[in-house]
């Protein structure tokens, strides 16, 4: 197995990752590629389906530089491996000579078994119950110890740093800057108040548990992509599965919790954090897009971002969130 190159990977080299390099990286592990490499729908990292001779294809994830440290990536891998060893349906990385985080030249990558599936039906009671049961099991394990290296769901990383980046790098149009900053100034004390007023025990989470990170098949779900795994409130992994009108979301949450309570306790007071967490995610998402804008894949894909219309819609959305958190 090839050892890590100490030369730091540049964003340009990461964006230009070539099939030949991917194949060489996988073959450095003693595997034989059949030269079929297909890019999958991922932007934060580079993810590929890689054909292996006489074996099912594997999924290769090549990590974006300067986002997570090796320790943080390994901690996420260890969490998913811990879950998989308890027969919880998560897709954990494969290990080679005991290592899940692999290196080839300046690249860091991991290999996963390929799992197929479709998006779960969130209007299907049985699907929701099933998801609730497995999230309860994931959180029961997540509550047994803390992450040592990975961050938490907090205002610093979800709001303060993204807003600072947006403002200092000129993403928000001049005619909207004062309005945007005023909304953030009005939101911050409310968000701080809500986060401090609900007493919860932070646990290890999936962190980004939206329907696109769940692959549904006839035997149930597979939870994938724990790349955003953090310490935080349990409700962080529940609220992104809710959609529709308020009554619809309330019903969906009730069904999820019916399954969840079969395996783990849930502090119902955490439901008061849903609109706070939604607001934090809105701001964080804009900041994430802005921070990745020099990656050619982002302007080509997210053509609607960083337009006057986008920022006007963000203003309206943040006003709605301000009204929501003021009511709670």
Residue 97 among the catalytic residues:
no
Instruction: Identify the active-site residue in 225, 227, 228, 237.
Output: 225
Tokens of residue 154, six digits: 């907090």
Tokens of residue 302, six digits: 């997210």
Question: What is residue 160's DSSP assignment?
Answer: I
Instruction: Identify the active-site residue in 13, 178, 208, 254.
Output: 208
What distance in Å separates the CA atoms of residue 282 and residue 293, rounded to the nearest whole number? 17
CB-based contact 137:86 (threshold 8 Å) = yes
| Opening angle at CA 106, ends 103 and 112, nearest 5 | 35
What distance in Å separates the CA atoms of residue 145 and residue 221, rounded to the nearest whole number? 25
What distance in Å separates the CA atoms of residue 223 and residue 206, rounded to the nearest whole number? 9
Beta bridge partners of 221: 216
Tell me the CA distances in angstroms from 115 to 49, 266, 269, one per residue in order. Answer: 11, 30, 35
CB-based contact 235:264 (threshold 8 Å) = no
Residue 225 among the catalytic residues:
yes
What distance in Å separates the CA atoms of residue 216 and residue 128, rounded to the nearest whole number? 11
Tokens of residue 43, six digits: 């932007």
Tokens of residue 131, six digits: 């998801």
Per-residue exposure over 240-262, b if at least 16 CB sit within 10 Å of its own CB, e if not: bbbeeeeeeeebbbebbbebbee
What distance in Å separates the CA atoms of residue 142 and residue 266, rounded to the nearest whole number? 13
Which residues are catalytic, by number? 208, 225
């Amino acid at each position: 197995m090839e050892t890590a190159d100490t030369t730091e990977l540049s964003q340009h080299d990461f964006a230009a990752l070539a099939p030949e390099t991917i194949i060489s990286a996988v073959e450095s592990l003693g595997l034989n590629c059949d030269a079929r490499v297909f890019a999958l729908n991922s932007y934060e990292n580079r993810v590929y389906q890689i054909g292996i001779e006489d074996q099912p294809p594997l999924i290769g994830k090549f990590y974006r530089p300067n986002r997570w440290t090796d320790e943080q990536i390994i901690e996420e891998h260890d969490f998913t491996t811990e879950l998989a060893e308890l027969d919880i349906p998560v897709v954990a990385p494969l290990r080679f000579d005991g290592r899940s985080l692999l290196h080839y030249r300046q690249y860091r990558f991991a290999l996963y078994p390929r799992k197929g599936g479709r998006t779960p039906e969130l209007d299907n009671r049985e699907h929701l119950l099933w998801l609730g049961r497995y999230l309860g099991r994931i959180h029961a394990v997540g509550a047994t110890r803390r992450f040592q290296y990975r961050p938490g769901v907090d205002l610093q990383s979800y709001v303060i740093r993204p807003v600072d980046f947006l403002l200092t790098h000129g993403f928000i149009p001049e005619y909207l800057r004062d309005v945007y900053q005023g909304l953030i100034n009005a939101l911050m004390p409310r968000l701080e108040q809500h986060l401090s007023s609900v007493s919860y025990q932070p646990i290890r989470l999936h962190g980004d548990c939206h329907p696109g990170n769940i692959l549904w098949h006839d035997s149930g779900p597979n939870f994938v992509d724990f790349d955003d795994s953090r310490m935080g409130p349990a409700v962080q992994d529940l609220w992104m599965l809710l959609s529709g009108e308020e009554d619809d979301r309330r019903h969906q949450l009730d069904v999820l919790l019916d399954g969840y309570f079969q395996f783990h306790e849930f502090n119902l007071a955490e439901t008061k954090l849903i609109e706070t967490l939604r607001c934090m995610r809105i701001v964080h998402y804009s900041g994430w897009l802005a921070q990745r804008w020099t990656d050619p894949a982002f302007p080509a894909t997210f053509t609607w971002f960083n337009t006057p219309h986008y920022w006007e819609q963000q203003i309206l959305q943040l006003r709605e969130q301000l009204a929501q958190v003021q009511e709670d």
